[in-house]
Amino acid sequence: MFDFNTTLGYCRRRMKYTDFALLDQEKDPLFEDAARLVIEHQNASASFLQRKMSLGYARAAHILDELQMARIIGPMDGAKPRDILVESLEDFQQNGPPLAKSDYFVQPITINYRVPDFKLTVPNDVGWGKPLAATKYEPLEIPFGHDGDGNLDTVRLDDLNHLLVVGNPLSKKMEFLDSLLLSQLIKVTPSQLNLVLLDESNYLNLYKQLPHLLMPVVNDHFKGLSVIKWTVEEIKRRQKMFTEAGVRNLSSYRELSGSHALPEILLVLRMFDVSEEYEYGLNLISSYGQHTGIHLVMVVDQASGKYISSRLKSNIPNRLVFKTTSVSDSSTAGVKGAEKLGVGEAILRLDSSGEKKITTIYTSEKDISDVIHKIQDQQA
């Protein structure tokens, strides 16, 4: 029989940073020599590498960037010397760099958690859409919004797979994330759904210290790479469990092991652009995550090649497109007419089906704070 506490011990595992394919791209031939020098001399500056290795400034600076990406050295901090994050090159190759306390998965999964009785407010004037308090839906069902006839569009998380959310900075797409997250927090337990929030804008920091979180909210680009790596490793771990059980996906595994044998995982990424360092891992997650109960919601300002690759877009056919700045922005997002949308309006396209205009659901910041505080009070 499945042991929930034992299996979720991965929440406290340290993430190794070597052997991840997105860091296996071709490095400078002098990368290892430079790494050994900066570690031994505890000096990571371009001028130091220039002197010791007879390099030009541009190449020395490029090698420093590679060392930082590999987390052998820390980022620049004004005039202060860069931190050296590892004790030796051999130790790094074996174990990766030592991680800060915030890099550990320290949030416990509380099996005895009970969803509190939430009382959401129904404001008189919300500006757009209907408030979450007036919206009826089932646990693990995502309420997107209402169409022109007032019908609510929803989809179960296990049917959604992945979602790409696009819209200009004033389109209220971030407020949709509030409604998405809050709609689950008031209905489901951590044994049903875990959250991983990677947000370079810091907008989602209100959701810190929730029992649903597998790790603290991540705002840093380089820590985000570790998050992507962990998610890929979790997909592989679950695939191995399914193979050993003689099944192919999470639903079949639950039939054998119990309805709460493994929780769904919702990975929310708010990114300004998808850099090449992220590309490999995100393609794996978008290709294989849905079968293991790991779902990706990616939020970007634009869907052009500068922000997200065509391959990654093709792996995420489900779209929620808010107001775009131009016709071309709407086109690259895969829908028509998004440049004409009003505040809180969006075009919903699920599973490559037809487009539908909806008005998304409003959630007040007061409701968010109240729900989070009530959840935290229950843990105290």
104 part of a folded domain: no
Using DSSP, state whether 11 is helix, strand or coil.
helix
Per-position DSSP letters for 192-259, written without gaps between them = TEEEEEEETTSGGGGGTT-TTBSSPPB--HHHHHHHHHHHHHHHHHHHHHHHHHT-SSHHHHHHHH-T
348 falls within a domain:
yes
pLDDT at 333: 94
User: CB count, 10 Å around CB of 329?
Assistant: 21
Give the span between the Cα atoms of 156 and 142, in whole angstroms.
Answer: 6
- Name the token pair of 95: 């174990």
- What is the average pLDDT across 26-51? 90
Token match 């990766």: residue? 96
Domain end, chosen from 76, 96, 116, is at: 96
Residue 281 above 50 pLDDT?
yes
Task: Mark which of 44, 75, 96 sits at the end of a domain.
Answer: 96
- 71 pLDDT band (50/70/90 cuts)? confident
pLDDT in the model for residue 372 = 92
Which is nearest to 157 in space by CA: 226, 104, 212? 212
Q: What's the domain range around 69?
A: 18-96
Asked if 145 and 249 sit in the same domain, the reply is yes
SS3 track for 310-328: HHHHHHCCCEEECCCCCHH
The predicted pLDDT at position 101 comes to 38
CATH number, domain with residue 78: 1.10.10.10
User: Are the CB atoms for 216 and 208 separated by under 8 Å?
Assistant: yes
Strands 193-199 and 264-270: parallel
Are residues 69 and 192 located together in one domain of the fold?
no
Least confident among 19-23, 84-88, 177-181, 184-188: 19-23
Q: Does residue 360 lie within any of the structural domains? A: yes
Q: How confident is the model at residue 360 (pLDDT cuts 50, 70, 90)?
A: very high
pLDDT for res 102: 39
356 within some domain: yes
183 and 92 in one domain?
A: no
- Specify whether 225 is located in the same domain as 295: yes
Neighbours of 152 (CB within 10 A): 16
In a shared domain, residues 88 and 168:
no
Q: Is residue 137 part of a domain?
A: yes
The pLDDT of residue 380 is: 60
Q: Are residue 235 and residue 306 in the same domain, yes or no?
A: yes
* pLDDT interval class at 125 (50, 70, 90): low
pLDDT at 8 over 50: no
Rounded-to-integer distance, Cα 229 and Cα 231, Å: 5
How many whole angstroms separate alpha carbon 131 and alpha carbon 366? 12
The count of structural domains within the chain is 2
pLDDT of 256 reads: 85
**In a shared domain, residues 79 and 213:** no
Mean pLDDT (whole number) for 75-96: 79
Q: How far apart are CA 375 and CA 110, in angstroms?
A: 12
Does residue 176 form part of some domain? Answer: yes
Given this model, what pLDDT does residue 126 score?
Answer: 67
pLDDT band at 117 (very low <50, low <70, confident <90, very high): confident
Residue 179 belongs to a domain with what CATH number? 3.40.50.300
Is the distance from CB of 224 to CB of 218 less than 8 angstroms?
Answer: yes
pLDDT score of 14 more than 60: no
66/177 same-domain check: no
In this predicted structure, the answer to whether residue 78 has a pLDDT above a threshold of 50 is yes
Name the band, by pLDDT with cuts 50, 70 and 90, for residue 54.
Answer: very high
What is the average pLDDT value for the chain, to the nearest integer? 84
Range from 8-12, 24-28, 99-103, 229-233 carrying the lowest mean pLDDT = 8-12
Residue 121 CB partners (closer than 8 Å, separation 6+): 131, 133, 364, 366, 367
Same domain assignment for residues 61 and 167? no
HSE (side-chain half, CA atoms, 13 Å) at 82? 24
pLDDT for 21 beyond 60: no
Q: How far is CA 197 from CA 25, 162, 270, 352, in A?
A: 26, 15, 8, 26
Pair 365, 283 in one domain: yes
Q: Are 81 and 43 in contact (CB under 8 A)?
A: yes
Kindly report the pTM of this predicted structure.
0.73
Answer whether residue 2 is part of any domain.
Answer: no
Residue 10 placed within a domain: no
Regarding whether 295 and 213 lie in a shared domain, the answer is yes
pLDDT band, residue 178 (cuts 50/70/90): very high
86 pLDDT band, cuts 50/70/90, is confident
Inter-CA distances, 67 with 16, 88, 296, Å: 16, 13, 29
pLDDT at 260 over 70: no
Cβ 153 vs Cβ 144: under 8 Å: yes
**154 and 63 in a common domain:** no
Helix (H, G, I), strand (E, B) or coil at 188: coil
